[in-house]
Structure 1
Amino acid sequence: MIGRILTVAKREFAGYFDHATAYILLVIFLGINFYFYFQEAYLLGEASLRPMLSLLPWLLLFFIPAVCMRSFAEERNAGTLELVLAQPIQVVEFLLGKFLGVLFFLLVAMAGTLGIPLGLTFGADLQWGVVFSQYLGSMFLISALIAVGLWASSLTRNQVTAFIIGVTVSFALYLIGLPTVTLSLPGPLAAVAARLGVLGHFSNVARGVIDLRDVLYFAALGTAFLSLTYFSVMRERLSRERPAYGRLRVGVLGLVGIAIFAALAGGQVRGRLDLTPGKVYTLSPPTADLLRGVDDLVTLKLFQSAELPAQLAAIGRDVDDLLRDLDATGGANVNLVRLDPDEDPDAREEAGGLGIRPVPFQILADDETSFQERYFALAVQYAGESQTIPFIRQTADLEYRLASMIRALTRAERPTIGILTGHGELSLDAGLRLARGRLALEYNLMEFRVDSATAAVPDSIDVLVVAGGRMPMEPAAGEILSRFVDDGGSLFVLKSGVTADMQARYAGPTFDPALDSLLQTRGLGIVPSMAFDLLLNERVQVPSGFGAVVREYPLWALAQPASGHVIVDGVANVPIRFGSPLLVEVEDSTLVTPLLTTSDGGGRLATPLSIDAMQEWAEVIAPDGQLSEEDIAMETLAVAYTQPGGGRIVLAGSSSFIHDETLSQSMSGLAGMVFFQNAVDWLAQDEALISIRSKDRAPPLLLFPNEWLPDLTRYGNLAGVPLLFVLIGVLRLARRRQVQQRSFTEGGALT
């Protein structure tokens, strides 16, 4: 059986490459793919296949029906289908051979896109586990759409008609799961539609996680349409009056029904393979240790309406997975409770007592827009105390948020973080409001001000944060902070050596002798220069005569981890705006660890200087027009220091990454918050949650070491790969034509 299937598959596969149409389709598919991918990928600056995967389903929507339309329609129109089926081969063998032949051809098309990840390796450390999952997910999608295309081809003799049917049915499978459709359906039907939609399952696999539910869905979809194709071919061989026809119809309908049931019920199947770096979709070991180590029962209460809006379906699935993992890992220490406040008045009253309110959602029904309120919240309860997430909007950091709540409720004593004020520093109410919300989950917070009556930092403060400061400290304040570190306290200094005025477009040096003295006695210092990075930086919008122009701004560097220190493990792209390089002259190098640096395209500029974003930065850095090694060098932007017999210090050459404005506006704001929280945890010697918080789902930045490599990668794929297929096609078709023109010898052998 397998031999006959492979024979048909080989015949089908070779048949595509014997016609110029196949090469034309391949060139069009690859050309469109490459063009739009590099347009978006280079704009985003990420080493990821996401731009390709967002376009791929829509390319396949037309490409696969175009490839499949000839499979049965051409055979039937030429009269060869009956001839083939008259041979000693079963219809199911013939059908599976056709399916595999088309699949092999389309896998060749996908193999043509491998130049993208290979090219990206020149500019980033690619996440190959995610890439493998994305290509595997693409194969699942392709297999399902091939089944649809073969069914469409089996219905008619006309290839154009088969193409139209294939596109229409495939588009319906896409459309059924989109918010455009699900928002207009009642709750239960919307949930069914969301599960039957193709795109949701494809996006799940493409993120780097192979989930059995998605595998089951694509297998069910392929089985359903292959069964319909089998029925379409067999019905022409059987009389409708014969019992065999009735049995065939019942059997096929049964298979289709089972497939649909499997696709819908697959949501209850558990099992997944996480191929992402750091297993970001898998429960972290510190979370498991935390759950196993609690002294009393932790109750997790999910307040969820039975009919969630369709736009929350994917989030709901992730929440369900995480809660099941927490429940299974915690064992007897965790009690998972699911409540529906819409149906249970007691649950509604309890939710209200916890500060949980329903959230209105816009629903489109009967061409009218209405609002319906739904619950989707979590509460963590322990020993009579509670912490809540009033509404679950996303799951990127949900594990960390729940773990931090559990830790805050179960720990005997919470450390205290002090925020120094009085010199123009950022405070809990001005500049640190977002950071305050995060820190308050795990620590007690208080502001501390040095005055004439202050003799020392209060014993209750475990970590003291100095965030910025427009005015220099008093000498007495510097001495108090120095004694605090000598006595075992921890100090977090976030301060730049320059002051920037965006309105005046000017930056000048700033000095703080008392703080400088504290740092210098320990071999550290803040250089009164402006750090820059020509390669890794944020973009800013600059007004011009033609509207806003987006430009790279080297003075807003994106700092990278400089070591494997726990503070920066998994952290990247920390936004350092108008930062300063650090001076590190510690005699014992084991006491200090670099945390953040610029890229190889970094450096420092003497102040004062203009900070106008419209400048040509190469000319600013090297006025003579020749960039040298003296102009470009990696600069240290943050370090961790451990004082022998004393406390710990983290020094960063900027406080911008923790400012409310940066956190709310910068695309890399979350990285700044994670770095800040990790540093505070390390200073407080409380590192249990660092690895959970540092889980990063963002792809690595795309940073080519040479200016010509981006163009080589782009045009090597955009032009080189299609031309390679054209060359293969020309050679194969020329050889085929040459073979056809040969004359036969008397015995029938080719000469």
Structure 2
Amino acid sequence: MKKYYNSLILIGILILVNLLSYKFFYRFDMTSDHQFTLSNATKNILKSLDDPVTITAYFSKNLPPDIQKTREDFRDMLEEYAGISGGMVEYRFVDPSSDKDKEQEALQSGIRPVMIKVREKDEIKQQKSFLGATISLDERKEIIPFIKPGAPLEYELSTAIKKVSIENKPPVAILSGHGEPGLDELSQVEQSLSILYNPETVDLKNVNEISPKYKVALLIAPKDSFDTGDLQKLDKFLSGGGNLVLAINSVEGDFQNSRGVIVNTGIENWLQEKGLNIEHKFVVDFDCGTVSVQQKQGYFTMVNQVKFPFLPIIRNFADHTITKGIEEVILKFASPMKFIGDSTVNFVELATTSDRSGVVDGNTYFDVINKKWTSADFNRPNIPVAGILEGKLAGDVDSKMVVYSDGDFAVTGKGRNKVNDNNISFLVNAVDWLGDDTGLIELRTKGVVSRPIEQKYLTEDASGKRSLIKYLNFGLPILLVILIGIFMMQRRKAIRIKRMQEEY
């Protein structure tokens, strides 16, 4: 009878715990960058909503377990959003697979089905499924056409809510007229900017001035020379309190001819007058990206990935709002920069190369295959490649410039190659900081994680340490299992001996 009552008490406790956990939900987030905790940026977006936002989630039912988890995670997130917003976020789930009308609704909303492999009766077959959502407020609408399983959901959902909740976005000027890439070549930058701003192209050659309605203007990878009049327009913009983002090339790599060349646009001399010297040299770094090289091996032509120090991977960042959450940026043919100004202008280094970096003359030949890089090539550590100029840069009014010594690091180009998300954030964060709207910086870099092996473990001197770690990873779990087995065996043996002693 006592056992029966104990069972009832246990069942009652379990029911109570379930009821309480449903009413008072809390998630313990043990990840290093709090992947499962809503950021302050998201909370501020939700609390600032003046009108209700409607989210319609189009998810098919009968999904495989790993994809079904995405549906449940999305529902949990929407519940949390609704609670924080004070009821300003309303949501509903629709199964487009249940009938033709709902499927048509999903298609008209911009949600396209995807084919998913499912196992049914020991057979693998393709199943048409929907995994998307729409976010709407009045006539404004944003679409998340496909919610990728395992991908961070918060950024996409929060930025979509932010976009529909802003009625009048401030404009941002993207300067042109000197061979700069167009918006079609800056698709990722434009997409990221369009959350908070209206990016507008301004042809510097065809305007008398950069309109004061722009708080921030971007000048990205100009190729043609600037005349005195164009430089004066930049000065006038700064003297009126405007802020600039400059990403410029003082050198350029020509892969087709395997050569590096010097670039002169006049911006370099203009920057020197402001106190910043960008050298006509290439930065090279031991910590670098790779290029594809065709090499013949017998009768076969193999494509190999070869390290190319002219593509430095930057991991040293200042503790600044612009660099918050950024772990690494890959540059394409960067140059060294050095502050040469006086006390009227303040310079802040935003990013530098690694401890093993150096410089190469601007007019050089790329010998990708035969060049043997040694420590002598990397004798100039921690070279600045991005920085901020603040002060009276033109006239008597304080203004700011964020300068990058690589003009192409955020350029997508006309192909379909996607630029590293951190590269885009590194540029767009500067616009947010200069425009005094830093709310999305924390959110933009959340979920962009890189965990490279530290260089100190990759040297020849560290080979013994690498072997030790390898053998520990392999042997320690086995040793723990054996020890637990011995402990359990001894424990059972002691229990048997004790029982035998009690019987006698």
- TM-score relative to the length of structure 1: 0.56
Q: How does 1:378-527 map to 2 (within 5 A)?
A: 378-394=133-149, 396-429=151-184, 431-451=185-205, 453-513=206-266, 515-527=267-279
C-alpha deviation, 1:662, in angstroms: 11
C-alpha deviation, 1:617, in angstroms: 4.7
Q: Is the 8 A contact 2:327 2:450 kept in 1?
A: no
Q: How does 1:282-431 map to 2 (within 5 A)?
A: 282-310=37-65, 312-343=67-98, 347-363=102-118, 365=120, 371-394=126-149, 396-429=151-184, 431=185
Offset from partner CA, 1:235-281 (integer Å, 9 cap, x none): xxxxxxxxxxxx9xxxxxxx9xxx9xx9xxx9999643212223122
Does 1:278 find its partner at 2:33? yes
C-alpha deviation, 1:470, in angstroms: 2.2
Distance 1:472 1:310, change over 3 A: farther
Q: 1 CA distance for matches of 2:470 and 2:119? A: 42
- AA in 1 matched with 2:277: G
Does 1:567 find its partner at 2:322? yes
Instruction: State the match for 1:616 in structure 2.
Output: 371
Does 1:711 find its partner at 2:463? yes
C-alpha deviation, 1:589, in angstroms: 8.8
Q: Is the 8 A contact 1:565 1:595 kept in 2?
A: yes
C-alpha deviation, 1:652, in angstroms: 0.5
Q: Is the 8 A contact 1:319 1:395 kept in 2?
A: no
Q: 2 CA distance for matches of 1:350 and 1:689? A: 32
- AA in 1 matched with 2:90: N
The match for 1:635 among 358, 369, 383 is 383
Q: Is the 8 A contact 2:290 2:306 kept in 1?
A: yes
Offset from partner CA, 1:353-407 (integer Å, 9 cap, x none): 4222333334555677654322211111223321111121255443122222222
Q: Secondary structure at the match of 1:322?
A: helix
Instruction: State the match for 1:531 in structure 2.
Output: 283
Q: Is the 8 A contact 1:479 1:518 kept in 2?
A: no
Structure (1/2) with the larger helix percentage: 1
Distance 1:719 1:381, change over 3 A: closer
C-alpha deviation, 1:717, in angstroms: 3.2
Distance 1:373 1:479, change over 3 A: same
Offset from partner CA, 1:78-110 (integer Å, 9 cap, x none): xxxxxxxxxxxxxxxxxxxxxxxxxxxxxxxxx
C-alpha deviation, 1:577, in angstroms: 1.1
Q: 2 CA distance for matches of 1:647 and 1:403? A: 31
- TM-score relative to the length of structure 2: 0.81
Q: 1 CA distance for matches of 2:318 and 2:116? A: 46
The match for 1:670 among 421, 439, 448 is 421
Distance 1:269 1:377, change over 3 A: farther
C-alpha deviation, 1:648, in angstroms: 2.4
Distance 1:723 1:683, change over 3 A: closer
Distance 1:500 1:335, change over 3 A: same
C-alpha deviation, 1:417, in angstroms: 2.1
Q: 2 CA distance for matches of 1:395 and 1:662? A: 29
Tell which structure's C-alpha radius of gyration is larger: 1
Q: Is the 8 A contact 2:353 2:383 kept in 1?
A: yes
Q: Secondary structure at the match of 2:312?
A: strand
Q: Is the 8 A contact 2:456 2:462 kept in 1?
A: no
For structure 1, the 5+ residue unaligned runs are 1-246, 248-254, 730-751
Q: Is the 8 A contact 2:132 2:145 kept in 1?
A: yes
C-alpha deviation, 1:422, in angstroms: 2.3
Distance 1:267 1:598, change over 3 A: farther
Q: 1 CA distance for matches of 2:466 and 2:244? A: 47
Q: 2 CA distance for matches of 1:663 and 1:493? A: 23
Q: Is the 8 A contact 1:300 1:381 kept in 2?
A: yes
Instruction: State the match for 1:688 in structure 2.
Output: 439
Q: Is the 8 A contact 1:575 1:657 kept in 2?
A: yes
Does 1:597 find its partner at 2:348? no
Q: 1 CA distance for matches of 2:261 and 2:399? A: 32
Q: How does 1:161-172 map to 2 (within 5 A)?
A: none
Q: 2 CA distance for matches of 1:721 and 1:359? A: 39
Q: Is the 8 A contact 1:426 1:432 kept in 2?
A: yes
Instruction: State the match for 2:452 in structure 1.
Output: 701
- AA in 2 matched with 1:582: M
Instruction: State the match for 1:117 in structure 2.
Output: none
Q: 1 CA distance for matches of 2:415 and 2:37? A: 27
Q: 2 CA distance for matches of 1:396 and 1:492? A: 31
For structure 2, the 5+ residue unaligned runs are 4-9, 483-504
Q: Is the 8 A contact 1:299 1:380 kept in 2?
A: yes
Distance 1:372 1:268, change over 3 A: farther
C-alpha deviation, 1:321, in angstroms: 3.1
Q: 2 CA distance for matches of 1:471 and 1:463? A: 22
Q: 2 CA distance for matches of 1:662 and 1:637? A: 26
Q: Secondary structure at the match of 2:98?
A: coil
> Could you say what the CA RMSD is over the residues aligned between the two structures, in angstroms?
3.4
Does 1:650 find its partner at 2:395? no
- AA in 1 matched with 2:439: A
Q: 2 CA distance for matches of 1:635 and 1:567? A: 19
Q: Is the 8 A contact 1:663 1:673 kept in 2?
A: no
Structure (1/2) with the larger strand percentage: 2
Q: Is the 8 A contact 2:346 2:391 kept in 1?
A: yes
Q: 2 CA distance for matches of 1:662 and 1:397? A: 27
Q: 1 CA distance for matches of 2:189 and 2:71? A: 27
Offset from partner CA, 1:701-751 (integer Å, 9 cap, x none): 22234734531321223468989999xx9xxxxxxxxxxxxxxxxxxxxxx
- AA in 2 matched with 1:502: F
C-alpha deviation, 1:449, in angstroms: 1.1
Instruction: State the match for 1:543 in structure 2.
Output: 294
Q: Is the 8 A contact 1:493 1:649 kept in 2?
A: yes
Offset from partner CA, 1:280-326 (integer Å, 9 cap, x none): 22100121111111111122221111223455234334323322221
C-alpha deviation, 1:349, in angstroms: 4.8
Number of corresponding residues: 457
Offset from partner CA, 1:132-188 (integer Å, 9 cap, x none): xxxxxxxxxxxxxxxxxxxxxxxxxxxxxxxxxxxxxxxxxxxxxxxxxxxxxxxxx
